[in-house]
Amino acid sequence: MSQSASSGNRDRGCIACHKISTTGFAGGHRFGETLCTPCHGGRPDAATERDAHAELIAFPGNLSTAGGTCGRCHTHHVDAVRVSPMATGAGIVASTRELFTASPDTGKTATLSALGYSPADSLLRKLCAGCHLNQDKTSHRLDPTTDRGGGCLACHINSYPKDAHPALTVRVSDARCFGCHSRSSRISLNYAGLAEVDPTALQRPDTSTLGRLEDDRLVEFVQADVHQRAGMSCIDCHTSRGVMGMDRPNNEPEKGPDILCIDCHRNASAPIDLNIWPNKLEGQIDRIPFALRPRQKFLTTKRRATPLWHIEIQKIGNTLYGKQSSARLPIPPWTPQSHPYRTEHRRLSCSACHSTWAPQCYGCHTTYDPTGNQWDHAAQEVTAGRWSEKRWNLRNGPPPLGVTSDDRIAPVVPGMIMTLDHPSLERPIFKRRFAPIAPHTTGSARSCNSCHRSPVALGLGQGRLQKTDGRWTFIPDSERLEDGLPADAWTSLDERRQAKPPANSARPFNTDEMHRILDAIPKSQPIGQGSIP
């Protein structure tokens, strides 16, 4: 008797009690209709429920057990996810520790699963460690705004039906991304056209554009990303390699997503055919949504040569087939005619021009109360000490621009303009940090004035730019903080006042770059306040 047949007979004990769990499976997981123990373990031959559940794995996707469950078939995926940023949070840990010590920790302990009890790690435990895949899932429910952790199950279960087993699926819904990615850079919010606002918005004469999320955050309905309006979901752009961190060249740390705008709109990589398809991605071939022609070619991503199997290369234009929907969308190609200043703008990222807005928070005060209590995401219990954040001056407009570590001009937003207070500190710490962002608010290109005549785009903040006797000056609208910069600024026309960024991170424009930007269009053009006309 084969092992599968033997297991099937043995698992009849599970099925006798869990009859509704024999339906609902999708695709390659239909073995679960008769086989329970490969994923859930347990002792189906036991005589009592208690004994049968003694070694039960209720949530096989949790990364604490996934190696012996999901990893039996998907070893490559589980190994990659365990060291991915979604699981380790290494960047968050390193940057938070740097706030307190001014010395980044990028060693092996810089993960959300290996936190100590220093002030920095205490903050991470209480405010940050909930949003990573190493958190175990503990209940059979889905809530897009509050779900955390669950390893593989965090993404690959879209519903918990009452009359069937949850279907494990590669068709990951946007709601599965929302729980974590609606915070911090708020990518999921941006993409859907939801801009988080502060309570002062309730004082407007017209509040009809406002709404609340399930977690009570106040949002405003604004223009969604053009891809979202076309019916595209997150996985129509983001590949499995990129999301799960697989096949990184030389196991290098993550350097951004697998997908780039040019992969669809201006792909210069040599296309591949089925004969040289990556072995680890062979399962995608069965999902190709269009009829294959002889010697059919496929686009690949520039960073990892991932096949874009849902894009059909055609003689006149290419077509994207929605992975979630039945949408068939023509892909607008990049052309020299549509980018007349391509030489002058060669350093610009696509998002520098095509991001119509970005979430920006220009005020934050973080304090610690040693007499309070708060949930500790690492310990999974309430522990002593309570961190609280107060924030203000939320804006959702055209973002500032900066220069990335690879010399590209991209949108940046405040990672923090923050006062940090803790009993261990001699005095409160003031930090000003900006970070690159891909806002996911793609639309028509911003106007010339919105960059070349905007103090906000330059990182100076809101205010008035003027040129007198050949010299540029800036009068800010906001008060100056203790570092000498206006409250909403990243830099100044005088480089001596620039906020110093950490090593290998984005930097503000230097004085020469700012003057070249300002002088690039005729003096007759009006000087703006940073808004897109």
Label residue 91 by pLDDT band (50, 70, 90). Answer: confident
**Lowest-confidence pick of 240-244, 309-313, 350-354, 396-400:** 240-244
Q: Which of 331, 364, 384 lies at the terminal end of a domain, its last residue? A: 331
pLDDT at position 3: 44
Label residue 530 by pLDDT band (50, 70, 90). Answer: very low
pLDDT at position 149: 85
pLDDT at position 381: 94
Assess if residue 337 is contained within a domain.
no
Tally the domains of the chain.
4
pLDDT at position 529: 42
Alpha carbons 79 and 251: distance in angstroms, whole number: 12
Contact 176, 158 (CB under 8 A): yes
Helix or strand holding residue 394 (H, E): strand 381-397
Q: Within this chain, do residues 397 and 441 fall inside the same structural domain, yes or no?
A: yes
Alpha carbons 284 and 298: distance in angstroms, whole number: 12
Contact 56, 42 (CB under 8 A): yes
pLDDT at position 329: 97
Alpha carbons 327 and 452: distance in angstroms, whole number: 38
**pLDDT single digits (tens) 482-508:** 999 999 999 999 866 666 777 678 999
pLDDT at position 532: 33
pLDDT at position 301: 95
Percent of the chain with pLDDT over 70: 92
Assess if residue 523 is contained within a domain.
no
Half-sphere exposure of residue 346, counting CA atoms within 13 Å on the CB side?
Answer: 2
Assess if residue 154 is contained within a domain.
yes
Distances (CA, A) of 33 to 15, 17, 20, 57: 9, 13, 10, 17
**Lowest-confidence pick of 153-157, 245-249, 382-386, 417-421:** 245-249
> Average pLDDT for residues 396-421, to the nearest whole number?
93
Q: Within this chain, do residues 152 and 184 fall inside the same structural domain, yes or no?
A: no
pLDDT at position 57: 94
pLDDT at position 256: 75
Assess if residue 339 is contained within a domain.
no
pLDDT at position 107: 56
Q: Which of 331, 361, 378 lies at the terminal end of a domain, its last residue? A: 331
Is the confidence at residue 476, as pLDDT, over 50? Answer: yes
pLDDT at position 132: 87
Alpha carbons 180 and 170: distance in angstroms, whole number: 19
Residue whose tokens read 């785009």: 457
Residue whose tokens read 């329970």: 36
Alpha carbons 278 and 275: distance in angstroms, whole number: 9
CA-based nearest residue to 167, from 350, 34, 48, 26: 26
**pLDDT single digits (tens) 341-393:** 899 999 999 999 999 999 999 998 899 999 999 999 999 899 999 999 988 99
- For residue 53, the enclosing domain spans 3-161
CA-based nearest residue to 451, from 509, 393, 524, 396: 509
**pLDDT single digits (tens) 36-67:** 999 999 998 888 999 999 889 999 999 999 99
Alpha carbons 39 and 62: distance in angstroms, whole number: 11
Q: Within this chain, do residues 222 and 244 fall inside the same structural domain, yes or no?
A: no
CA-based nearest residue to 44, from 6, 12, 68: 12
pLDDT at position 126: 94
Q: What are phi and psi of 446, to 5 degrees?
A: -70, 160
Distances (CA, A) of 339 to 91, 312, 333, 351, 356: 35, 25, 11, 14, 17
Assess if residue 172 is contained within a domain.
no
Assess if residue 55 is contained within a domain.
yes
Assess if residue 336 is contained within a domain.
no
Q: Within this chain, do residues 357 and 426 fall inside the same structural domain, yes or no?
A: yes
Residue whose tokens read 């999902």: 287
Is the confidence at residue 525, as pLDDT, over 70? Answer: no
Region for 54 from its dihedrals, namely left if φ exceeds 0, alpha if ψ lies in -120 to 50, beta otherwise? alpha
**pLDDT single digits (tens) 238-268:** 999 999 988 876 656 666 789 999 999 999 9
Q: Within this chain, do residues 491 and 447 fall inside the same structural domain, yes or no?
A: yes
Alpha carbons 463 and 456: distance in angstroms, whole number: 8
pLDDT at position 184: 84
Q: Within this chain, do residues 148 and 8 fall inside the same structural domain, yes or no?
A: yes
The two beta strands, 218-221 and 194-196, are: antiparallel
Assess if residue 531 is contained within a domain.
no
Q: Within this chain, do residues 220 and 285 fall inside the same structural domain, yes or no?
A: no
Alpha carbons 381 and 176: distance in angstroms, whole number: 25
Is the confidence at residue 524, as pLDDT, over 70? Answer: no
Please name every residue paired with 419 in a beta bridge, in sequence order, or none if there are none: 365, 430
What is the 3 state secondary structure string of 418-466?
EEEECCCCCCCEEEEEEEECCCCCECCCCCCHHHHCCHHHHCCCCEEEE
Average pLDDT, the chain: 89
Q: Within this chain, do residues 369 and 506 fall inside the same structural domain, yes or no?
A: yes
Q: Within this chain, do residues 146 and 12 fall inside the same structural domain, yes or no?
A: yes
pLDDT at position 254: 63
Q: Within this chain, do residues 214 and 276 fall inside the same structural domain, yes or no?
A: no
Instruction: Count H helices and E strands in the chain, helices first.
Output: 18, 13
pLDDT at position 9: 66
Q: Within this chain, do residues 326 and 415 fall inside the same structural domain, yes or no?
A: no
| Three-state DSSP state, 26 | coil
Q: Within this chain, do residues 311 and 373 fall inside the same structural domain, yes or no?
A: no
